[in-house]
Amino acid sequence: MNFPVIALRGLTILPGMVVHFDASRKKSIDAAQKAMMSDQKVFVTMQKDSEIEDPYAKDLCIYGTLVRVKQLIKMQGNIIRIMVEGLERCRLNGIIERDPYLVGDIEFLPRKSVSEEIEYCRQEAMVRILKEDLDKYSAEVSNNKQAIAHMMTMKKLDELLNQIGIIIPFDPESKQRMLDAPNYEDLYLIAEELLRREAAINEIKKEFQKKVKERIDKSQKEYVLREQMKVIREELGEDSSNTQDADEYEKQANALNAPDSVKEVLLKEIKRFKAIPNGSQEGTVSRNYIETLLELPWNNCTQDNNDTIHAMNVLNEDHYGLEKVKERVVEYLAVRTLVHKGDTPIICLAGPPGTGKTSIAKSVARALGKKYHRISLGGVRDEAEIRGHRRTYLGAMPGCFAKALKEVGTSNPLILLDEIDKTSSDYKGDVASALLEVLDSEQNNQFKDHYIEVPLDLSKVLFIATANDKSMIPRPLLDRMEVIDVTSYTENEKFHIAKDHLIPKQLERNGLTADQLSFTTKGLQKIIHNYTREAGVRTLERQIAKICRKVVREILEQGRGKVKITETSVEKYLGMEKITYNKANTEDQVGIVRGLAWTSVGGDTLEIEVNVMPGSGNLQLTGQMGDVMKESAQLALTYVRSVASEYGIDKKFFEENDIHLHIPEGAVPKDGPSAGITMTTAILSAVTKQKVYADLAMTGEVTLRGRVLPIGGLKEKLLAAKMADIHRVLVPDENRSDVSEISTEITKGLDIVYVKNMSEVLGQALL
């Protein structure tokens, strides 16, 4: 049959497709218009070479499609948009006419029906394979999903193949191959190959896109960051090149007053730094290291003032009392000057808080003309805080000693190791052993800080340590130190410290003059006695500061000229009295004995109570006692049992009765052996029902056979006894020498009785 022919460029239309294409060639437009006027049918086929303007039969693909022209739309510039619907696969047997448009001899060539051509199972297999391929394809491609989902529901092979040709955007040549396929088997093979190829291409495409995107993202991010850094540097007025900085460092390194070995390391690092690209992480690490080394004092020292008389004057100027401590410190300094080396052991000032330990160390620094730096060791657990981190760690820092030297800028400062008893060890290493290296004069001229790497010389540093409780200092450290005890202050000492030091200091701090605010003796004594209860003078200083602040406000708000703090006006500034003291009992009682205790914050009295009740010989202990104290209680009971017969107690007594021993203020933990004689006396009194003197207190360790052993912290204990209005105190005989060292201010009014054994104790205590 003859039909008008339109030659398509770069387009294959398959049966079933509804597409539009634009025609500009006159012959194509005429053919379409002719068809529109008759039965609307046109044969379309692809040109083999789309460059050819006026194709002949040989230039056209033989297989094409008979289409129905559905619409012609006139576009701009002689172009017609033709909308067609593919009808049937046909073959072009030849061109019959060429003018005014092509007319071809067209033969209908439908394929054999699929059921005739391929048996059912094979068909089914092909459908399944095609669907699998489609599935893979749709995973790689994001468009056409709906159409593909629809295809997945098709059951017939021919339908599926036709749809694949229509929906999947194969290139025109591929579609032409599908059109050329003489039967469904061939069509299937082509379709499958095309599908797979398409899926593979899309996969590769995606991979490429991803790689390219990553690359772009990374380089873009770096670019943006670098640009930002540049702007920041410009804002800060910094040069962005390492070379210039490196040159500057090099100059500084050459001028540095340091051992050659240090300079060598430094110059090497600077050279490395020069080569590192600007702005990199490594550059920052290197820069920090160089700057740290440059800032360390190395050979820079200050001149010491070795005049011990001057030192004593300074200490006296800054501190009231503390004669023994000052003397020991000055002796220590004298020896140190004579020996010329830090071979003398390190001083450790041990005593309760607020007794002036830190402030003595500061005075020593002032006396010697040394720079002062305080390192707080309380709670330090990580060895790295002492020795620093290796530079490979992110955010690595030097240890506290290197930092201290850097800060003071001289290599012979006074470094205060505050609270050396509060360090602890954990899995991160041993703080004490690192400190040991610092304090050991044999090793500390080569102290290794992990960050600094070059050995640091700490031998010129004067170390002074402080501790609240010397028994908590790790043994090896304690061995290297000379402990000087700083003890509690008496009320009289506190009075003088306040008058001579604390009040002037606080007046100055608050911008007051001695004229504006003054304290009467009674007023100050009341503050000390009724508003503070402490070994040192910290709370006292705080209370004085509080009064100063209130007075400053009064002066400003009410225009007051002069304020005097008297016994009566104290309450106005500090509120109601805060402190009540454990006073001696007024009545002599059975089973209650007063002991004396020492704690790291001062002394106190504690009452021990014992009750006896019918039972089966158990000993019950309450009041948060530590292990040592519990053992002491056992010991006391054993002793009492061993002497029971002397006091006329029946042998069976201890089998038929329970004994309960309690120490009040049950929430406060207590420990130590020094309540031994007190517990023994209390048990014996309870058992024999003999009364104990109410105005008596005692302290001493007891042995199994009743010997009384010496105890520590006597000054604090006697002070506490005095505060509690106790008149008679039993003290171990071996503590005689300690008592002689205690000022008469404390011992005055106290009847101190020395005891050697329990029978002496009981003789004194029981009525």
Shortest distance, position 353 Cβ to ligand ADP, whole Å: 4
Q: Helices 308-318 and 323-339, interaxial angle, to 10°?
A: 150
Q: Decide whether 85 or 500 has the Cβ nearer to ligand ADP.
A: 500
Q: Which of 321, 595, 706, 713 binds ligand ADP (CB under 6 A)?
A: 321
Q: Decide whether 484 or 679 has the Cβ nearer to ligand ADP.
A: 484
Is 717 among the residues known to form the active site?
A: yes
Q: Is 15 in the site for ligand ADP (CB under 6 A)?
A: no
Shortest distance, position 519 Cβ to ligand ADP, whole Å: 16
b (16+ CB within 10 A) / e for 212-234? eeeeeeeeeeeeeeeeeeeeeee
> Which of the ranges 68-76, 161-169, 530-538, 672-680 carries the binding residues for ligand ADP, by CB under 6 A?
530-538
Q: Report the residue count for the chain.
A: 767
Shortest distance, position 372 Cβ to ligand ADP, whole Å: 13
What are the tokens at 677?
A: 């004689």
Sequence-distant (6+) residues with CB within 8 A of 125 are none
> Which of the ranges 50-58, 470-478, 537-545, 734-742 carries the binding residues for ligand ADP, by CB under 6 A?
537-545
Q: Decide whether 270 or 329 has the Cβ nearer to ligand ADP.
A: 329
Sequence-distant (6+) residues with CB within 8 A of 617 are 654, 655, 656, 657, 658
Q: Decide whether 78 or 359 has the Cβ nearer to ligand ADP.
A: 359
Q: Is 359 in the site for ligand ADP (CB under 6 A)?
A: yes
Which of 470, 526, 717, 722 is an active site residue?
717
What are the tokens at 57?
A: 């039969």
Shortest distance, position 536 Cβ to ligand ADP, whole Å: 6
Q: Is 591 in the site for ligand ADP (CB under 6 A)?
A: no
Q: Is 179 in the site for ligand ADP (CB under 6 A)?
A: no
**Residue from 351, 383, 369 nearest 471 by CA:** 351
Q: Is 322 in the site for ligand ADP (CB under 6 A)?
A: yes
Distance CA 278, CA 150 (A): 59
> Which of the ranges 333-341, 531-539, 573-581, 668-676 carries the binding residues for ligand ADP, by CB under 6 A?
531-539
Sequence-distant (6+) residues with CB within 8 A of 510 are 545, 548, 549, 551, 552
Q: Which of 326, 470, 501, 526 binds ligand ADP (CB under 6 A)?
A: 501
Q: Decide whether 175 or 357 has the Cβ nearer to ligand ADP.
A: 357
Distance CA 641, CA 705 (A): 11
Shortest distance, position 485 Cβ to ligand ADP, whole Å: 12
Shortest distance, position 230 Cβ to ligand ADP, whole Å: 50
Other Cβ atoms closer than 10 A to 727:
15
Shortest distance, position 324 Cβ to ligand ADP, whole Å: 12
Q: Is 354 in the site for ligand ADP (CB under 6 A)?
A: yes
Q: Is 357 in the site for ligand ADP (CB under 6 A)?
A: yes
112 by DSSP, 3-state: which?
coil
> Which of the ranges 188-196, 351-359, 451-459, 526-534 carries the binding residues for ligand ADP, by CB under 6 A?
351-359
Shortest distance, position 475 Cβ to ligand ADP, whole Å: 23
Shortest distance, position 657 Cβ to ligand ADP, whole Å: 48
Residue 660 in contact with residue 620, Cβ under 8 Å? yes
Q: Is 538 in the site for ligand ADP (CB under 6 A)?
A: yes
| Region for residue 559 given its phi and psi (left: phi exceeds 0; alpha: psi -120 to 50; beta: otherwise) | left
Q: Decide whether 324 or 572 has the Cβ nearer to ligand ADP.
A: 324
Residue bearing tokens 């001083």: 347
Q: Decide whether 61 or 365 has the Cβ nearer to ligand ADP.
A: 365
Q: Decide whether 356 or 399 has the Cβ nearer to ligand ADP.
A: 356
CB-based closest residue to ligand ADP? 356
> Which of the ranges 50-58, 257-265, 354-362, 469-477 carries the binding residues for ligand ADP, by CB under 6 A?
354-362
Q: Decide whether 356 or 676 has the Cβ nearer to ligand ADP.
A: 356
- The CA distances from residue 216 to 167, 176, 224, in Å, are 34, 39, 12
Pairing state of beta strands 657-662 and 691-692?
A: unpaired
Distance CA 577, CA 571 (A): 7
First to last CA, the chain: 147
> Which of the ranges 42-50, 278-286, 356-364, 703-711 carries the binding residues for ligand ADP, by CB under 6 A?
356-364
> Which of the ranges 217-225, 294-302, 352-360, 447-455 carries the binding residues for ligand ADP, by CB under 6 A?
352-360
Which stretches does DSSP call E strand in 154-206? Answer: none
Q: Decide whether 287 or 501 has the Cβ nearer to ligand ADP.
A: 501
Residue bearing tokens 């634009």: 22
Residue count at the site for ligand ADP (CB under 6 A)? 18
Shortest distance, position 738 Cβ to ligand ADP, whole Å: 21
Q: Decide whether 501 or 717 has the Cβ nearer to ligand ADP.
A: 501
Q: Which of 356, 413, 700, 706 binds ligand ADP (CB under 6 A)?
A: 356
Q: Is 353 in the site for ligand ADP (CB under 6 A)?
A: yes
Q: Which of 89, 175, 177, 319 binds ligand ADP (CB under 6 A)?
A: 319
Q: Decide whether 360 or 661 has the Cβ nearer to ligand ADP.
A: 360
Shortest distance, position 378 Cβ to ligand ADP, whole Å: 11
Burial of 737 per CB tally in 10 Å (0-12, 13-18, 19+): exposed
Q: Which of 337, 358, 443, 520 binds ligand ADP (CB under 6 A)?
A: 358
Q: Decide whether 322 or 698 has the Cβ nearer to ligand ADP.
A: 322
State the amino acid at position 581 in one-letter form. Answer: Y
- The CA distances from residue 320 to 216, 494, 702, in Å, are 74, 9, 38
Shortest distance, position 507 Cβ to ligand ADP, whole Å: 14
Rounded to the nearest angstrom, the gap between the alpha carbon of residue 579 and the centroid of all alpha carbons in its chain is: 40
- The CA distances from residue 356 to 352, 353, 485, in Å, are 9, 8, 11
Q: Which of 320, 372, 495, 639 binds ligand ADP (CB under 6 A)?
A: 320
Instruction: Describe the strand order of the beta sheet including 592-599 as a list of residue ranges.
Output: 619-622, 657-662, 602-614, 592-599, 696-698, 728-732, 751-755
- The CA distances from residue 755 to 127, 681, 683, 724, 743, in Å, are 112, 13, 19, 21, 21
Rg, C-alpha atoms of the chain: 51
Shortest distance, position 598 Cβ to ligand ADP, whole Å: 16
> Interaction with ligand ADP in 75-94: which residues (CB under 6 A)?
none
Q: Which residues pair with 91 in a beta bridge?
A: 63, 107
**Residue from 552, 546, 499 nearest 524 by CA:** 499
Which of 174, 488, 674, 685 is an active site residue?
674
Rounded to the nearest angstrom, the gap between the alpha carbon of residue 726 and the centroid of all alpha carbons in its chain is: 52
Q: Is 537 in the site for ligand ADP (CB under 6 A)?
A: yes
What are the tokens at 632?
A: 């002491």
| DSSP class per residue in 117-139 | HS-HHHHHHHHHHHHHHHHHHHH
Q: Which of 158, 541, 695, 701 binds ligand ADP (CB under 6 A)?
A: 541
Q: Is 355 in the site for ligand ADP (CB under 6 A)?
A: yes
In the stretch 446-485, what mask flags binding to ligand ADP with x, by CB under 6 A?
--------------------x-------------------
Which stretches does DSSP call E strand in 568-684? Answer: 589-590, 592-599, 602-614, 619-622, 657-662
The residues that are catalytic are 674, 717
Give me the residues that bind ligand ADP (CB under 6 A), please.
319-322, 353-359, 466, 497, 501, 536-538, 541
